[in-house]
């Protein structure tokens, strides 16, 4: 199953009812800075979060401050998501970080010392521009749950 999933409406979120839902409004996350602010708030990132890609990668691969073991990042208004970000390379790097973090959590073994296994999924409302970027960059995604 792909780490990125498109959901048509809130009713498609039913399979994620027991997940901690971090809602990111794409209209309010048109730049990376705005995205960092939303995800940091939604997932209660620690104070040492530095609002950059490297720090985001570290935070998503840690998550030890959360009690939840199932986490969904749900990006609404995907057509506006990162629409004001000038660098397509940074958009792709962000998507890669989200994809790899979700994938890495699939392989955490309960026997690893000090690491609580988690499930991380990245959900999007469908948007043609985002689907085109996923296709161009060969990101795997599921169209429906």
Q: For tokens 């999933």, what's the residue?
A: 5
Domains by residue range for the chain, with CATH: 4-142 (3.30.370.10)
Q: In this structure, are residues 16 and 72 in contact, taking their beta carbons and an 8 Å threshold?
A: yes
pTM of the model: 0.92
Q: How far apart are CA 118 and CA 125, in angstroms?
A: 23
> Please, where are the H alpha helices in the chain?
32-42, 53-60, 88-106, 128-137
Interhelix angle 88-106/128-137, rounded to 10 degrees, is: 70
Q: In this structure, are residues 59 and 105 in contact, taking their beta carbons and an 8 Å threshold?
A: no
Instruction: Characterize the bridge pairing of strands 4-6 and 70-76.
Output: unpaired
Neighbours of 69 (CB within 10 A): 15
Q: What pLDDT shows up at residue 113?
A: 62
Q: How far apart are CA 106 and CA 132, in angstroms?
A: 26
Q: What pLDDT shows up at residue 116?
A: 79
Q: Which residue ranges in the chain fall short of pLDDT 50?
A: 145
Backbone angles phi, psi at 35, to 5 degrees: -65, -45
């Amino acid at each position: 199953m792909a780490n990125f999933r498109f959901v048509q409406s809130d009713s498609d979120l039913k399979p994620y009812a027991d997940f901690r839902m971090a809602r990111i409004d794409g209209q309010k996350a048109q730049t990376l800075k705005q995205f960092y602010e939303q995800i940091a708030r939604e997932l209660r990132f620690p104070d040492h979060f530095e609002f950059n890609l490297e720090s985001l990668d570290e935070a998503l691969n840690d998550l030890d401050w959360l009690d939840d073991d199932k986490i969904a990042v749900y990006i609404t208004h995907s057509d506006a998501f990162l629409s004001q970000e000038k660098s397509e390379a940074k958009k792709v790097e962000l998507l890669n970080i989200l994809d790899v973090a979700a994938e890495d959590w699939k392989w955490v073994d309960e026997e690893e010392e000090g690491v609580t296994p988690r499930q991380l999924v990245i959900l999007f409302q469908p948007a043609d521009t985002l689907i085109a970027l996923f296709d161009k960059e060969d990101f795997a995604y599921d169209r429906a749950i």
